[in-house]
Structure 1
Amino acid sequence: MKNKFSIGVFDSGYGGLTVFKSIAEQLPQYNYIYFGDNARSPYGDHSFETVYQYTLQCVEWLFAQGCQLVILACNTASAKALRSIQQLDLPKKYPNHRVLGVIRPTAEVVGDFSVNKKIGVMGTRGTVNSNSYPIEIGHFFPEVKVYQQACPMWVPLVENNEHLAGGADYFVNKYVIELLQQSEQIDCILLACTHYPLLVPKLKAFLPAHIKLLSQGDIVAKSLVDYLSRHTEIETSLGKERKRSFYTSGDVNIFNKQASVFLGQELLASQVKLS
């Protein structure tokens, strides 16, 4: 019997669990391995080269665990590492493996949600500085104007479980104001970090009611459904025992506690020590 592969889901920390949750809900039949590089998180302020090296190391670990397909459920990794991995590493070392990101599938549809064709993108410094979203959205929706806002305090708020506390109000409101000052016509905001969906209740309190908020989980999940339908050679190689495994490079007890906030259920992870 041929070996059956799992779908790998990678993030620098916990945020990718929001994407994993949507993927597993829409495609529950497959086996999944989630890996969070919490020991080296956050990735947002690291250089392109550092993020590339960290991401490649984690992707290769997932390959070694039997993942033929890996989703980079991390905007920073997708912005700073995905293209290099796809163009440099896969053809030479892993021609039968695939690595997908979250930026392109989001860019393919985000323009459909804006009437004014003015979209705000809120993300980490790394994602914003990469300029990946204006470039990718421009390929599919050249008529759309993209306004970006870096939100460096949001990931720490979420990862310290302070995202719904009163102390978060200042930094949520601060970045919302800074974004909307760029254009009064913004009618759609993309949360370009997988941590940010946990801030949606706060964001709705500070945003005008007409502005749509887009999280990436469902978008990426729908894109993966389409991808597998078009790549039957990969789909047929995937195991379908509904297995779920979780790993972290950080402290397991902390990961289990924090991950339950993102996933909405308890889990038991194992630790991976990266050299």
Structure 2
Amino acid sequence: MRAVRAVETTATVHPWAIHAEGLQVRAGRHLAVDGLDLALTTGVHGLLGPNGAGKTTLMRALATVLAPAGGRLTLLGQPVDGRVDLRPVRRALGYLPQHFGYYPRFTVREFVGYLAWLKEMPKADIPDAVQRAIDRVGLTIKADARLKTLSGGMLRRAGIAQAIVNDPRLLLLDEPTVGLDPEQRLDFRELIRDLGTDSCVLVSTHLVEDVAVACTDVVLVNEGRLVWQGTPDALAAQGDRGHAGDSPAERGYSALLRRHRAEVAR
């Protein structure tokens, strides 16, 4: 028998949950992500950008729904390309698309359980994991209600429940607070802060204030490229009262976009 080296028994730790170099992703024929460089680790990261900036296309690529058209993408230490089995990465992913499909006659419990099964969770673990996810999004009393009877905000929370049911190491949420009332948004912020203590959470949103309050890091993209990355406080410091916005974070966002567009136009 050969001796086993210590390095072979040490748990693998990935320095980056998401690592992209020169990433290109197509949305149809359009190159929606064009030469993006990005590195994210544990924490809550807010993805900001105007309409058409490439946010949803980027999220779909990170969820392994779309294959990169160029550059390099690594998720949880696994290169993402056409030559590798992506199932191990997908088991560790949670993803809430901007528009998600569901079976209207499923109950909330059946819906979340079905997604847990699709994620290949151990059968014995699914019931408890489903109940825990439903409780965390505040749908306990609606667990056995059919999805077709839920309000838009409740449907969104059911979508968040399926995204977190497998305790993902990489959680991708595309416009998760659409349809949530102010109290539910506060609860959501607390939830993702909790999730971000030991996972990489990326939240794509148009609501700058959600990012400023809930996120540890802000990523601003435009035309498929990284414009700026930093803390919420650093974002707020980028603007002043001469820039558009009702809060320091919104004014910083506006200032960064204005400067970026001016540089591109030169």
After TM superposition, the score normalised by the length of structure 1 is 0.29
The structure where strand makes up a greater share of residues is 2
Structure number with greater Rg is 2
Greater relative CO, 1 or 2 (CA 8 Å, sep 6+): 1
The structure where helix makes up a greater share of residues is 1
